[in-house]
Structure 1
Amino acid sequence: MALKKSELYSSIWKSCDELRGGMDASQYKDYVLVLLFVKYVSDKYAGQPDALIDIPQGGSFDDMVALKGSDDIGDQVNKIIGRLAEANNLKGVIDLADFNDTDKLGSGKEMVDRLSNLIATFQNPDLDFSRNRAEGDDLLGDAYEYLMRHFATESGKSKGQFYTPAEVSRVIAKVVGVNRAIRQDQTIYDPTCGSGSLLLKAADEAPQGITIYGQEKDNATAGLARMNMYLHDRPGAVIWKDNTLSKPHFKNTEGSLKTFDFVVANPPFSDKAWSNGLNTSEDLFKRFEDGVPPAKNGDYAYLLHILRSMKSTGKGAIILPHGVLFRGNAEGDIRRNLVRKGVIKGIIGLPANLFYGTGIPACIIVMDKENAIGRKGIFMIDASKGFMKDGNKNRLRHQDIRKIVDIFNSQTECERYSRMVPLTEIEANDYNLNIPRYIDSTEPEDLQDIEAHLKGGIPNRDIEGLAAYWELCPSLKDELFCAADRPGYSLLKVDANEIKRTIYTHPEFTTYTKSLRTLFDHWLENNHGTLKGIENGANPKELIQNLSEDLLTVFSEVPLIDTYDIYQYLMTYWADTMQDDVYLITSDGWTEANAVRKIVETKGQKSKEEADITIGKQKFKTDLIPPSLVIARYFRDEKVAVDELQADLEAASQAMEEMQEEHGGEDGLLSEVTNDKGKITKGDLKARIKKIKNDPDEEEERAVLEAYLSLMEQESNAKKAVKAAEETLDRNVLAKYPDLSEEEIKTLVVDDKWAATLCSDIKTELDRVSQKLTRRIKELADRYATPLPEITDEVEALSAKVDEHLKRMGFVW
């Protein structure tokens, strides 16, 4: 049975533990990714006569496996990689990491064990790249992405710049318009491509394929990019190692810069050494006609290079710090010229702390030469508030990515989020493009009403601020509020503790909740056949794409909820659970994916896997259907019986605790049988009862001891009964798995697992809607509950009481 994707990637990441301690994360990534590359090309191309990659004799992953435990493993691994590099013109690409470096890998047995264990990790049978597990399932690409993100996270500020977060890459890929590329010979270029993640994400959007070009000045990172292209099945990509600004590699025959259909980039922010080796006044490529960037800040140097590298119909996008939008002097002049030319199509402001090299917020500047003439405005998005925390970094959620892309591509104006800003307005602001000048994303101020504080009542202005709820439930407002004794104010008709119940049980709100559940049922009905029809070799990414698109369509016009919140529920569940399930099904089929694995533990080494079923010392793991679902559908009565026995056990334990509380302590009737640790044993109880058996003065103590002993026996018997019943249930459940038909498996997975979870998420969203309204009404009611005169009268009354007490005590002034 195939491992789940998440477990597979996790096991690869854990292999990095074999290298930690001797080097920084930014260094050990080179070792792990090189091994991943050698494993991939060996699986895919070994023994094929006309293969894209030649696997020479003594240059394969199998040759590495044969070295495990060898004293000269480090030197021999270097030679294997060298042979592979020599045979495929990959010298300086895959042979940069020294596997015989004693400073980083240790010496003697330490190096042998470390490298042997690392190679063993990639021997995992689930890492067999000789066959596609499922059509369109990018097992290797996803594994590479997983590793790169973790390496970047651990590399720290100074060394994490080789990787553009996948979420940001997806935004750029979808807003730059690569999806409109219709020919393989159309081109995409990244002048600062790093490890190639952004370039690949953008290229993936081209439905018919696209020709890839990239340049990167760092030698090791350029090697990563070359390997990344092979690992993502893009062997024709051209990656060049050199400084793009001083030595651009891609040129036309007459020496001018080669131009491309699409250009994307995430250059180093505020590069202080951008002009090294470059005479800006004699730039042969005419990149600085709109102005020369400051000598100590290269942000605009990269942007101008991109513009010059775009065809007359070209599209581009670059990630830069927000300073480029408002800084003055030379940068202000460049910005003015670019705005006047109309080449800037849009600006997307991103949250802070997304990137691994810096915590400052950045923006995406989207450029379009084709439609520059006649451009009347720049479309701006303030997406700075949409993110989730992920360790010490922020990350865009699925809903954030989707919202940015949908809003930008449709050029839809949304209050406090997006706006088409006229060029005339930008000109009036001296070409300052700082997003807050044009989009106020702050929430409206919650104004305090002085008259309401003085005289009581809730301002009608605040109640009307909840108009979206009253439009949906018109009579609900009249059930909650009535007019106060003066115009413009109302009173709460129900007790504050009854607000939520009033809302949730109101017929109009009930109708609304039913309509949402009906929509979900409609979506499920639309996709039920698709979900149950998943077959071996199906495309998981295409499946979730279709499911999510349909969900957005079904919930697109629902009031009070954000459609993207519903979308996020699905995408989160997909990432956490459903993706692994679908991966297993498309890999192994429904029946095989349902198989139960026995957890094997070697002597002295326990497995880290948590058992789903334990019978005696035997532990079993279910990957697709948790036992709780099998129990709920097939063993409900048996589970009720176990729960009843468990209740008996808890009742006996509770009675014993109550007796200890009542009769414990130094002078309590149980004190003689309570040891120093506060425990009472059956042996001590029996001994004490025997000792005072015939003593008439200890009759009360004896009665308590006997009662406690009886409870102990009840508890003991109950524990045995629970254990026996649970073991019987576990055996029956374990035996049920292989008896399940394929149709039963589909029902358990699709209906009882996937649909039930997502339905629960929809209910959570409904609860959020009602809680938001409840919270706001209660906040207003509490705010104006006690008018100032009442507070003043109460203070005066309390002060008078205090004065009276003081007088009686003899304190008078």
Structure 2
Amino acid sequence: MALKKSDLYSSLWAGADELRGGMDASQYKDYVLTLLFVKYVSDKAKADPYADVEVPDGGSFDDLVAMKGKPDLGEQVNVAIRKLADANDLQGVINNADFDDPDKLGKGKELVDRLTKLIGIFQDLNFSGSRAEGDDLLGDAYEYLMRHFASESGKSKGQFYTPAEVSRVMAALIGIKPDTPKSATVYDPTCGSGSLLLKVADAAPNGLTIYGQEKDNATRALAVMNMHLHGNGTAEIRQGDTITSPQFLRGNELQTFDYLVANPPFSVKSWNNGLENEYGRFDGYGRPPEKNGDYAFLLHMIKSLKSAGKGAVILPHGVLFRGNAEATIRKELIKRGYIKGIIGLPANLFYGTGIPACIIVLDKENAVGRTGIFMIDASKGFTKDGNKNRLRPRDMHQIIDTFVNQKEIERYSRMVPIGEIADPKNDSNLNIPRYIDGSEPEDFQDLHAHLKGGIPNLDFDALQPYWDAFPSLRRTLFQPLRDGYSQLAVDKGDIQATITGSTEYEAFVSNTNGAVNRWWNGHEALLQGITNSTRPSDLIAELGDSLLDAFRSQPLLDEYGVYEQLMSYWNDVMHDDVALIMGEGWDDAAKPRAARILGYDKIKKPKYESAHITFGTGVKAQRWVMDLVPPELIVARYFAKEQVDLDALEAAAEGAGRAIEEYLEEHAVEEGLLFEATDDDGKVTNKTATDRLKTARAEGADSDEIEALVHVVSLFKAEVAAKKAAKEAGLKLDQLTLKQYAQLTTADIQSLVINDKWGGRVAAGVHAERAVLIQKLVQRLNVLGDRYDTTIGELDAEVDVLSAKVAAHLVAMGVE
């Protein structure tokens, strides 16, 4: 069975985290990622005798499996990994972690058990089909684990990983063209685990020649493994301090590159410790301040770019406005035209710091004659993800679209002329709020409206996009009161019904439904053509870009909101589905499979994954999982009548239960007719009621009690019968559903998945965006209606009336 990426990722993390014990995540990652690497290259070598990594005898993952449980397991794992490292010149890369370290992994049996379980996490996985090109399941799993380790490694130890979302944005901003040759070079002078470099290389259809430098040797090892796992084993990743000991030189000059990306450590205070050769990096700019290395890294990058080179670097906002030596450097950079753009990012995106940062886009090729710097304030576009913020797909795409097309958007982006930046009032300060006011317009209170009533027309004018979409709706909802003011023409409770009941809204719904249907139907052949050679990244790019194009011309709806609906579904479900189809084909991917055993509890009872359909109970139960085509799709298409009948039976069973509850609530109380039928817990059951009925009849009890007992026993019988009927109908429907899977043709499967599952969810997402828009309008109109509903004069009169009532009550109580 093909691996689902979500299952792989979650099981790897859960298993690894469970075995970590008290070890710091920054240390434990070395063990987990090394074993992941060994497993991957071992599987690839089995499938391809010409694989990039040679797996020697005694150095494969199978050799590790054979050692499980042995008392010298830790020592033998070290030996095996050393053999693999020696055979591939990977010393100091994959053999850094000591698998025989009692201080980290425990002593004796504890170490053996922990390693045995850790090896077992990877043992049943098969990465022989994981491809380096297109959609790299294993490489992405590696990145997933690094992201989690970065998240848990603490502020000072999580800097080795740049969030994938930011990396993708940077890759799109540096101007890689479709025909860029693989010989073009990309360089990251502070490459960490290499994820940023890989995102740039992935953005180039032909790939790129990769160079990277990393100060920390253990982090460099992560990067080298990462390159191999993503099919870039020829990348040159060197170790050393970039400022004091740059590793890429040509003679006594820095080597230069076509493209550059970097996320250097922020504001390093000791950047010049041991600096002997400046390599001309600061010539013409001046030396960066002694206790802040931001501009030292930036100037290194400028120097490392070819004359037509392009780059993007993440730096703290301080580089945009700090004074003294940094101001002098900044003025010279602006003068030379090297800064093409600046994108302000949300705070708390990065694992090493919570402060907000920016992306500075560099472009030497078009520096001469540059007349402006394009700025984007993207600080408000994000979602919460645990204790960090994260760019959503919509935020990423909006940044890229806006920058690439140089679109000026109010409160979001603009081209700022160099003259304005150099003006004495700004003095080459590049702080984004100086040039883009990203604040939301203030919601003013109108004093005249509070005094005389009515809603200011200015408040309605602010809702103009709605009136453009529904031209007659404003006249329907409001009527003029006096010059500049209007009043509601309908009750506030009727606002939503008035909007959704209008012919213009109906036309709006029809148009958006038509747009999404035309877009989706236009890709039916593309989706039907998914095979093992499909590139999922290309597939979703085509779907996403065409969806944006389809909705840019639609009134009112935000095309990026619609895009987010698609991308969220892709990330949650659709990507897994595509991976299954690629791995197994449409027919096999749709077949029901037996639920997997996830583990065992303390008494060795198996724990199964959640099943869609289960027959029986306990260990002998048949548990069926339908990964691609869930049973509800089969039922909706083939057994709609049976589902309606089942719903009616289940409703009848619930009704029978409620009838019992209501009757007991009335009579199973102290001194009630059913009190004698209660058990020690004060409850009446079918058994206690039946037993009491026998006793009551034998004792000649009161006829009202006997009648109540007879009635409640009949209610219990009715409930049992209703539940039995519902259970039998449910079992029959499950049997019919399971049987139907065997009768599905390839065309049936494709229709169920493409139209009912995927298409239905995307259409529902568009509907959700539409509903949110209307709800915002209704809420705003209600706020305005409530705000000016009562004038100050009416409030004063009401206060006078209430004051008089209070005074009268006080007099009646004898209080003057």
Checking the alignment, whether the CA contact within 8 Å between 1:351 and 1:386 is kept in structure 2 is yes
Which of 447, 459, 464 in structure 1 is aligned with 2:461?
464
CA-to-partner distance for each residue in 1:787-813, whole Å, 9 max, x for gaps?
11111111111111111111111111x
CA-to-partner distance for each residue in 1:708-751, whole Å, 9 max, x for gaps?
11111111111222222211221221222122221111121111
Quote how far apart the aligned CAs of 1:50 are. Answer: 5.7
What is the identity, as a one-letter code, of the residue corresponding to 2:127? Answer: D
**What is aligned with 1:17?**
17
- 1:497-516 correspondence runs (5 A): 497-516=493-512
Which of 695, 702, 708 in structure 2 is aligned with 1:698?
702
Q: Distance in 1 between matches of 2:109 and 2:477?
A: 77
What is the identity, as a one-letter code, of the residue corresponding to 1:274? Answer: W
Q: Distance in 1 between matches of 2:596 and 2:204?
A: 46
Deviates more, 1:566-575 or 1:615-624: 615-624
What is the identity, as a one-letter code, of the residue corresponding to 2:15? Answer: S
Checking the alignment, whether the CA contact within 8 Å between 2:281 and 2:299 is kept in structure 1 is no
Which of 634, 647, 651 in structure 2 is aligned with 1:647?
651
Checking the alignment, whether the CA contact within 8 Å between 2:693 and 2:706 is kept in structure 1 is yes
Deviates more, 1:396-405 or 1:769-778: 769-778
**Does 1:123 pair with 2:119?**
no
Which of 666, 678, 683 in structure 2 is aligned with 1:679?
683
Checking the alignment, whether the CA contact within 8 Å between 1:190 and 1:263 is kept in structure 2 is yes
Which of 794, 798, 806 in structure 1 is aligned with 2:810?
806
Quote how far apart the aligned CAs of 1:455 are. Answer: 0.9
Q: Distance in 2 between matches of 1:690 and 1:185?
A: 93
CA-to-partner distance for each residue in 1:360-388, whole Å, 9 max, x for gaps?
11100111111111111111100000001
- 1:82-93 correspondence runs (5 A): 82-93=82-93
Q: Distance in 2 between matches of 1:265 and 1:99?
A: 33
- 1:409-420 correspondence runs (5 A): 409-420=404-415
Which of 633, 637, 640 in structure 2 is aligned with 1:636?
640
- 1:405-484 correspondence runs (5 A): 405-428=400-423, 429-484=426-481
CA gap 1:652/1:106 in 2 versus in 1, 3 angstroms: same
**What is aligned with 2:189?**
191
What is the identity, as a one-letter code, of the residue corresponding to 1:256? Answer: E
- 1:480-629 correspondence runs (5 A): 480-484=477-481, 486-599=482-595, 601=597, 604-617=604-617, 618=621, 619-629=623-633
CA gap 1:694/1:39 in 2 versus in 1, 3 angstroms: closer
- 1:137-286 correspondence runs (5 A): 137-179=135-177, 182-253=180-251, 255-279=252-276, 283-286=278-281
CA-to-partner distance for each residue in 1:100-142, whole Å, 9 max, x for gaps?
11111112222222212222222224x222x456972212221
Q: Distance in 1 between matches of 2:690 and 2:198?
A: 76
Which of 311, 318, 321 in structure 1 is aligned with 2:306?
311
Quote how far apart the aligned CAs of 1:51 are. Answer: 4.9
Checking the alignment, whether the CA contact within 8 Å between 2:596 and 2:608 is kept in structure 1 is no
- 1:267-416 correspondence runs (5 A): 267-279=264-276, 283-416=278-411
**What is aligned with 1:55?**
55
Q: Distance in 2 between matches of 1:666 and 1:24?
A: 60
Which of 781, 784, 792 in structure 2 is aligned with 1:780?
784
Checking the alignment, whether the CA contact within 8 Å between 1:134 and 1:537 is kept in structure 2 is no
Q: Distance in 2 between matches of 1:512 and 1:686?
A: 62
Total equivalences in the alignment: 806
Q: Distance in 2 between matches of 1:709 and 1:33?
A: 63
Quote how far apart the aligned CAs of 1:561 are. Answer: 1.4
The unaligned stretches of length 5 or more in structure 2 are none
What is the identity, as a one-letter code, of the residue corresponding to 1:454? Answer: L
Quote how far apart the aligned CAs of 1:532 are. Answer: 2.3
CA-to-partner distance for each residue in 1:240-266, whole Å, 9 max, x for gaps?
10111001111113x111111111110
Q: Distance in 2 between matches of 1:677 and 1:440?
A: 66
What is the identity, as a one-letter code, of the residue corresponding to 1:157? Answer: K
> Secondary structure in 1 aligned to 2:343?
strand
- When normalised by structure 2's length, the TM-score is 0.96
Quote how far apart the aligned CAs of 1:314 are. Answer: 0.9
Checking the alignment, whether the CA contact within 8 Å between 1:133 and 1:587 is kept in structure 2 is no
> Secondary structure in 2 aligned to 1:177?
coil
CA-to-partner distance for each residue in 1:499-541, whole Å, 9 max, x for gaps?
0010011111211111000101110110122222322332222
CA-to-partner distance for each residue in 1:167-188, whole Å, 9 max, x for gaps?
0000110001233662222111
Quote how far apart the aligned CAs of 1:287 are. Answer: 3.0
Deviates more, 1:564-573 or 1:733-742: 733-742
Checking the alignment, whether the CA contact within 8 Å between 1:19 and 1:28 is kept in structure 2 is no
Q: Distance in 2 between matches of 1:133 and 1:313?
A: 33
CA gap 1:649/1:86 in 2 versus in 1, 3 angstroms: same
Q: Distance in 2 between matches of 1:520 and 1:622?
A: 28
What is the identity, as a one-letter code, of the residue corresponding to 1:54? Answer: E
CA gap 1:686/1:15 in 2 versus in 1, 3 angstroms: closer
Q: Distance in 2 between matches of 1:57 and 1:608?
A: 36
**Does 1:76 pair with 2:73?**
no
CA gap 1:553/1:520 in 2 versus in 1, 3 angstroms: same
**Does 1:757 pair with 2:761?**
yes
Q: Distance in 1 between matches of 2:65 and 2:807?
A: 91
Q: Distance in 2 between matches of 1:409 and 1:461?
A: 35
CA gap 1:83/1:696 in 2 versus in 1, 3 angstroms: closer
Q: Distance in 2 between matches of 1:807 and 1:269?
A: 73
Checking the alignment, whether the CA contact within 8 Å between 1:22 and 1:105 is kept in structure 2 is no
Checking the alignment, whether the CA contact within 8 Å between 1:343 and 1:369 is kept in structure 2 is yes
- When normalised by structure 1's length, the TM-score is 0.96
Deviates more, 1:59-68 or 1:662-671: 662-671
Q: Distance in 2 between matches of 1:132 and 1:14?
A: 21
CA gap 1:89/1:23 in 2 versus in 1, 3 angstroms: same
> Secondary structure in 2 aligned to 1:739?
coil
Q: Distance in 2 between matches of 1:553 and 1:88?
A: 48
Checking the alignment, whether the CA contact within 8 Å between 1:412 and 1:419 is kept in structure 2 is yes
What is the identity, as a one-letter code, of the residue corresponding to 1:91? Answer: Q
> Secondary structure in 2 aligned to 1:293?
coil
CA gap 1:133/1:637 in 2 versus in 1, 3 angstroms: farther
**What is aligned with 1:26?**
26
> Secondary structure in 1 aligned to 2:557?
coil
**What is aligned with 1:743?**
747
Deviates more, 1:787-796 or 1:9-18: 9-18
Checking the alignment, whether the CA contact within 8 Å between 2:281 and 2:300 is kept in structure 1 is no
Q: Distance in 2 between matches of 1:283 and 1:160?
A: 29
Checking the alignment, whether the CA contact within 8 Å between 1:47 and 1:55 is kept in structure 2 is no
Quote how far apart the aligned CAs of 1:312 are. Answer: 1.1
Checking the alignment, whether the CA contact within 8 Å between 1:383 and 1:404 is kept in structure 2 is yes
Q: Distance in 2 between matches of 1:748 and 1:339?
A: 57
Identity %: 55
**What is aligned with 2:715?**
711
Checking the alignment, whether the CA contact within 8 Å between 2:613 and 2:624 is kept in structure 1 is yes
